[in-house]
Amino acid sequence: MKKKLVILTGAGMSAESGLRTFRDADGLWENYPVMDVASADGFARNPALVHKFYNDRRRQLIDALPNAGHIALADLERQFDVYVITQNVDDLHERAGSSHVLHLHGELMKVRAIDDPDLTFTLTPPDLSTTPSTLIDGHRVRPHIVFFQEAVPMIEPAIEIASEADVFVVIGTSLAVYPAASLLYYVRPSVPIFYIDPNPASVPEGVTVIREPATKGVATLRHILLSALDS
């Protein structure tokens, strides 16, 4: 039976695809006030601004491509049962071919009905823009994104996946946002944990830090994991 390889990714995973991270120098939160564009209060105050912010993100995403890191993670499905838990709202893991991708913070290409949170719609080019007055099937819509001040409904299944990991890998996240960052603490004690990030946050003792960007770091990880399978 294949071992379960669980990967938690953040914005750094997609940085080499040209998508900006949030908290690095020149990151998104340096250029946009986070509580205006990504919080429940901000959306209530100025929904047009929030729609515009995510319309811009969508336009960037359709021009972006999965990088070698996304592709190598999908490729590891040949040797492992790979589960990706991502904080990213982009679809680059899916486009790279990963089969199991859980989005903790929502999905950029989806919107949902304001009056029925279970009703989601996938936007398709060229119609990637929404405004406060957009109607889809008669519903006003909002980004299918978890705003600050909102619950993270996918955390329960994510905890279950993390607690079943045989190997756990964290890639490209500042581990600043909870509950996503807490997933590390649900990994069983004897399970090896790797953390790929050129500028890693502090992590518990015992975590193997690979201080490299995602493309190079996933190649390093792949080498370590495949050597361990052979031995």
Structure tokens at 58: 């969508």
Q: How far is the CB of 231 from ligand OAD (least distance, A)?
A: 28
CA distances 74 to 64, 88, 100, 207, 219, Å, are 17, 16, 9, 23, 12
Q: How far is the CB of 24 from ligand OAD (least distance, A)?
A: 5
Among 6, 7, 19, 22, binds ligand OAD (CB under 6 A): 22
Q: How far is the CB of 38 from ligand OAD (least distance, A)?
A: 5
Helix/strand/coil for 5: strand
By CB under 6 A, tell whether 38 contacts ligand OAD.
yes
By CB under 6 A, tell whether 19 contacts ligand OAD.
no
Closest CA to 102 of 61, 162, 55: 162
Structure tokens at 24: 């690095």
The residue annotated as part of the active site, out of 51, 70, 93, 105, is 105
Among 8, 19, 21, 113, binds ligand OAD (CB under 6 A): 21
- Using the contact rule CB under 6 A, the part of the chain among 8-16, 40-48, 116-124, 185-193 near ligand OAD is 8-16
Asked if residues 161 and 8 have their Cβ atoms less than 8 Å apart, the reply is: no
Among 76, 174, 193, 210, binds ligand OAD (CB under 6 A): 174
Between residue 107 and residue 146, which ones bind ligand OAD under the rule CB under 6 A?
A: 146
In Å, how far from its chain's centre is CA 215? 16
CA distances 151 to 113, 155, 174, Å, are 17, 9, 20
By CB under 6 A, tell whether 50 contacts ligand OAD.
no
By CB under 6 A, tell whether 11 contacts ligand OAD.
yes
Among 87, 98, 101, 193, binds ligand OAD (CB under 6 A): 87
Asked if residues 139 and 116 have their Cβ atoms less than 8 Å apart, the reply is: yes
Asked if residues 141 and 116 have their Cβ atoms less than 8 Å apart, the reply is: no
Q: Which residues are catalytic?
A: 105
What residue ranges bind ligand OAD (CB under 6 A)? 10-12, 15-16, 21-24, 27, 38, 87, 105, 146, 172-174, 176-177, 197-199, 213-214
